[in-house]
Structure 1
Amino acid sequence: MDRLTILNRLKAEAPGLRERYGVKSLAVFGSMARGDDREGSDVDMLVTFTEKATFDNFMGLKLDLEDLLGRPVDLGTPDTLRPEMRAEVERDLIHVP
């Protein structure tokens, strides 16, 4: 599945994900965002929740995203970003509308 297809799927499903899991914002970064992913690459995603995330919300979102995209998803939140990686991640971010 190419980057455009993944972004279109995320855009189509975003309203339901926001409602079901309390997602405030969702973005793709890493190799998928840069367009240099390969067959079998995971999808790196950054999520912000409207309230403090629960384990169930975080894992439910991750599993739903993996089912939706048919690829492993590496899901993180802004506070889990390592300081030395923050600038690179922010440069790659593609926000899901």
Structure 2
Amino acid sequence: MLDRYGARNPRIFGSVARGDATAASDIDLLVDLDPQGGNALLRVAGIGEELSTMLGVRVDVVTDALLRKAVSATAHLDTVAL
């Protein structure tokens, strides 16, 4: 599914990656996008929507470029490659 969006190198970060998620937690996913694949915002939204439907839990998808700088440093410390 990620291939259709030109996404690769999926990594989970946040509470799920740290092992302190609760039943109300979402899944945070960091991906790399092919720069030739079109609008990044539309692609991460599409990935998030499809994964949320498949998994039955909200999945937030971001790229390094879309992460806020304050979040980026801690996100990279948490990441778990899939």
Q: What TM-score do you get using the length of structure 2 for normalisation?
A: 0.82
Give secondary structure in 2 for the equivalent of 1:71.
Answer: coil
Match of 1:42 in 2: 26
The percent identity for this pair of structures is 32
Report matched runs for 1:11-90 at 5 Å. Answer: 17-51=1-35, 52-54=37-39, 55-90=41-76
Q: Where does the alignment leave 5 or more consecutive residues of structure 1 unmatched?
A: 1-16
Contact 2:27 2:59 in 1 (8 A): yes
Name the CA distance, whole Å, in 2 between partners of 1:57 and 1:50: 10
Deviation at 1:36, TM superposition (A): 0.3
> Counterpart of 1:43 in structure 2: which amino acid?
I
Deviation at 1:53, TM superposition (A): 4.4
> Counterpart of 1:42 in structure 2: which amino acid?
D
Name the CA distance, whole Å, in 2 between partners of 1:83 and 1:64: 26
Deviation at 1:75, TM superposition (A): 1.4
CA RMSD of aligned residues (A): 1.6
How many positions carry a matched residue from both structures?
80
